[in-house]
Amino acid sequence: MNKRFLTLSLASLLTASCYAQVKPIAPNKDAIRFSKAINPADGFKHLSILASDAYEGRETGTKGAWMAADYIRDYFKSIGLKGPVDGSYFQKIDLVNVTLKESHVTVNGQPKQYQKDYIVTPSLINDKGFMFSTDEIAFVGYAIKKDNYNDFANTDIKGKVVMMFSAGDPTLKPGARIDRASYRAMLAERAKYFADNNVKAVILIDPMVDRITENTKQAQNKGRVLVKTASALEAQNGAPRISVSTEVANELLKGANTTVADLQKKITESQAPASQILNVSFSASATKNETSVRCENVLGYLEGSDPVLKKEVLVLTGHYDHIGLVNDPNATDKVNNGADDDGSGTTGVLLMAKAFMDAKKAGKGPKRSILFMTVVGEEKGLWGSEWYSEHPVFPIENTIADLNTDMIGRIGEEYLGKPDSANYIYSVGSRMLSSELSNLSESVNATYTKMKLDYKYDDPKDPEQIYYRSDHYNFAKLGIPIIFFYDGMLQQDYHRPGDEVSKINFKLMSKRAQLTYYTAWELANQAKRPAVDMDGKGNPKK
């Protein structure tokens, strides 16, 4: 699961429930018969390979991820799934490694040193690079506009180079944390304000430049992988950004007879902006290099049996990437195996694919089509699913739902030692867009798996904001109903080498995959697709 918080905004609290509260559906003998393919033994076979040390943590754009992609492709092919991308099982993703080709910064005509005085992020440079110079910089403090505080008041930034602190909010009390929803809204508002005023460039006063290490320098020089999604290209086409050290910032502020420390103290104590125009000469330029890197989602397609309904597609997802090797030469265990995150969910997709293909071969295949898709780059920022959302293989309007399994193999902290520790799953997001899908899931659970469905992470006050942190979200934002099944394991070995196959509860993992499978069976065979009757935030549509 991805660490980042992509967005915030939920409107209703959905409380936990269990199977006893809902009406079961009639059990389907065929569904039960073919569910036997989803079992602990086969789960172990897949996961012991995918999460082995040989796969080196499956980091996107590395040998381990390619090995995993090949394994999944070969398995999809072996059970009879079709390659839906012009006959291929791979959906190629435009991934590049971006390095800095050259850069120059001067202050009052004096050149500055890269990685000592300033840093430029190559992935934020567009294909043409940038070059600018100015004799006038607009210092705008923290670049915050809210309530009775406005760093932009009485300061014209139109067409100018802007200088600001890289982080912070002087209006917050000591120890207080800004609400993430408000923070993201503020960032979006700031970006729009800069764009509307045609800001030439942004200089960030960043303490990280002051304490950059040799390891960080080496990592920067190796480059950064980047998927060319719409959002990434939009970021590249914004105003150029340069992070400068405190020393360089003080040099820029010298003509105004002030310093970084003085300004921070003044703004915090007065609770008033100190924005001003600085008359100082500053110039900068930079270009980048890009090298293509192998990267792909792996897709297996099962065509539906109904001549009409087969045009509709149900998507089952899990991300096969993880975070790779430990960046510590002294570590005794150097592999972040990612057995639970998300080897378990990927394995679940493979087991479900086998169950549905067994049904197909026995003449009991689903009426609707099913796309089994293991995506890449989730840990980098939901890259694979975002790419699919922008380059769908099947029309978005024909996609009826996404069932996403991301971490289904362990017992989360809240359930350790509890009576229902081996019989629960967090169900996330099921009611954000479709009450019918949520009701179906509960009815399916009441009939087949009888697990506790915990809706904790649908709480709008969830500090982890789990709903926005896995691949289902790139379907939900397009208005496609989703359910995200998740075990809640966020502390024990999350993104650490300890996330090993030996710690997976394969019986529980299989049961959770069976819940997903039975839900998929109903979705793929019922007369109507689940209606979108909610607004995406858990409120009924008006």
What phi and psi, each to the nearest 5 degrees, are found at residue 507?
A: -65, -45
* Paired strand residues for 244: 118, 205
How confident is residue 463, by pLDDT bands cut at 50, 70 and 90? confident
Written as six digits, the tokens of 535 are 């607004």
Task: Name the strands in the sheet holding 424-428, side by side, starting at the edge strand that comes first in the sequence.
Answer: 17-18, 452-454, 424-428, 482-486, 399-405, 313-319, 369-375, 296-302, 90-92
- Separation CA 291–CA 228 (nearest Å): 12
pLDDT of 426-443, one tens digit each?
A: 999 999 999 999 999 999
What confidence score (pLDDT) does residue 517 get?
A: 98
What confidence score (pLDDT) does residue 381 get?
A: 93
- Separation CA 154–CA 194 (nearest Å): 15
pLDDT at 192 over 80: yes
- Separation CA 538–CA 13 (nearest Å): 8
In single-letter form, the type of residue at position 416 comes to L
Q: What is the domain partition of the chain in residue ranges?
A: 17-93+295-525, 97-291
What integer best gives the mean pLDDT of the chain? 94
- pLDDT over 70, % of the chain: 96
The enclosing H or E element of 202 equals strand 201-205
- CATH number for 17-93+295-525 (one of 3.40.640.10, 3.30.950.10, 3.40.630.10, 3.40.50.720): it is 3.40.630.10
Helices (H), 322-406: 345-361, 378-381, 383-390
Please check whether the two domains, 17-93+295-525 and 97-291, share a CATH topology. Answer: no
The more confidently predicted of residues 10 and 351 is 351
Are the C-beta atoms of 205 and 164 separated by less than 8 Å? yes
What confidence score (pLDDT) does residue 18 get?
A: 44
Q: Residues with Cβ < 8 Å from 6, sequence gap 6 or more?
A: 381, 382, 465, 468, 469, 473
pLDDT at 19 over 70: no
Q: Residues with Cβ < 8 Å from 395, sequence gap 6 or more?
A: none
What DSSP state is assigned to residue 433? Answer: T
Written as six digits, the tokens of 241 are 């950004």
Task: Count other Cβ atoms within 10 Å, centred on residue 174.
Answer: 5
Q: Into which CATH architecture does domain 97-291 fall?
A: 3-Layer(bba) Sandwich (3.50)
pLDDT (average), residues 494-504: 97
The more confidently predicted of residues 5 and 455 is 455
- Separation CA 276–CA 291 (nearest Å): 41
- pLDDT over 90, % of the chain: 86
How confident is residue 175, by pLDDT bands cut at 50, 70 and 90? confident
Global pTM reads 0.89
